[in-house]
Chains A and B, each alone.
Chain A
């Protein structure tokens, strides 16, 4: 069962571009990336598209399909009507290089600003130990494939280019939360998360969670817990008092602020 898909693709570079029509033959069971590849093979050999695994695990083929941030390889054509027009554009938050390929180096710059995991000295036998229940807590965050769809959809930088300097974005709040919950980490990143990373800019409208192809509950399990941890550190006088008089548990002992 094949049919002609009414496909539109944004073509251009940083100097300008436009959406062009590419009617293309597609078959049952195919995804948007298959259609893009067929256009590249039969109609526009110079169409630029970044892809790799075709299995939703490498995070390369991020784009916007009918205005919604998606991995093209995980976007089934069967989710659309056969007579529906599908418009594919590059991610709109990052500078475009050409056609569907964007420059996502903003994210790597933000990654560099995040102090990495700092474990304590090893135990006497040369090992470090964590209980299984503590290991499990961070597993959800490790599922991130760095497709940067959450960074792309976040209105803080999508709609306000000027915020990019002061805002790390949901992917890195995920990392801040993961490290802050890590029982072996010796850094306290709460001030940094609120200050340099701009956690306070997030107004928890949950678009990052909506677009995550890995189904990570970025807002509920990372950003909000991290916001609550920042409240502990910066805004809650009872926590401050509890720490002063020593009735809070010693869960944060041994950590140094970065």
Chain B
């Protein structure tokens, strides 16, 4: 900022608006999520309240409680929490996401904290070296995120299952299709997860963005226009899905610990 030849201005920024508010908000919310998710992921319990499975533990491939493993338990020998087996994929997807990168580079690394505000670091190499060059694997995490999205969608279908008798609050509630507040939260969550996953920049590239001749690929061009439309709100879906996934997990936790009863619609 004060290199020879440039206009000599000492201040790191002359901005007078509250430029620090956005990075501070991001810092606080992301930190809170990381703390909450870490605690819940390592707990290894209270992640299943039939018929709801917490998204942090889905698919439950470790030594999970009865009813939680819809895809078997190939990692039944895993001594730690089952969440740790699969969380690496959604975590990696979000860590390498172009939107999240912008957010955490600004809020956590202050590089830069805001536009026109000098960063505190003396040297900068961007994403050219290890480990940040690994951000380029984002599309592989997107492939995994699609699979995770499918599993979470399946979980929503399972959330319509009848509840076991001990959760029933009235006569006849254990038979037939069930729907409760948990089902509704899981539907909202999976919608946000899909909006976030399908609006991904790598998705946009894969479905058609990488082409040079849209005119020769009309179907892929159409797909690209759809994803492009979603992509303009990628940041919004990133936030909404972050909140929804935590909310569903919290709801399941409260049910599983017996703190609350599921609100049942039918």
Contact = CB atoms under 8 A, between A and B. Distances in A.
B119 interface: yes
Nearest to B209: A225
A20 interface: no
B18 interface: no
A156 B116 CA distance: 12
Interface in B198-219: 201-202, 204-205, 209-215, 217
Contact of A201 (B127, B136, B215): B127
A137 B231 CA distance: 16
B64 to A, nearest CB: 32
Interface stretch (B79-87, B101-109, B156-164, B250-258): B101-109
Contact of A68 (B15, B106, B132, B138): B15
B128 A67 contact: no
Interface string B123-146: 111111000110011110000000
Contacts of A227: 136
Interface stretch (B6-14, B48-56, B68-76, B238-246): B6-14
Contacts of A181: 212
Contacts of A137: 214
Interface stretch (A31-39, A113-121, A203-211): A203-211
Interface residues of B, number: 53
Interface size bracket, A side: 35 or more
Interface stretch (A21-29, A49-57, A157-165, A168-176): A157-165
A66 B136 CA distance: 36
B6 A94 contact: yes
Given A130-B215, A201-B128, A207-B115, 15 more contacts: A10-B9, A14-B5, A68-B116, A92-B7, A92-B9, A134-B215, A158-B1, A159-B124, A180-B212, A182-B212, A204-B101, A205-B115, A211-B115, A249-B217, A251-B213
Interface of B: 1, 3-9, 13-17, 98, 101-102, 105-106, 111-112, 115-119, 121, 123-128, 132-133, 136-139, 201-202, 204-205, 209-215, 217, 221, 231-232
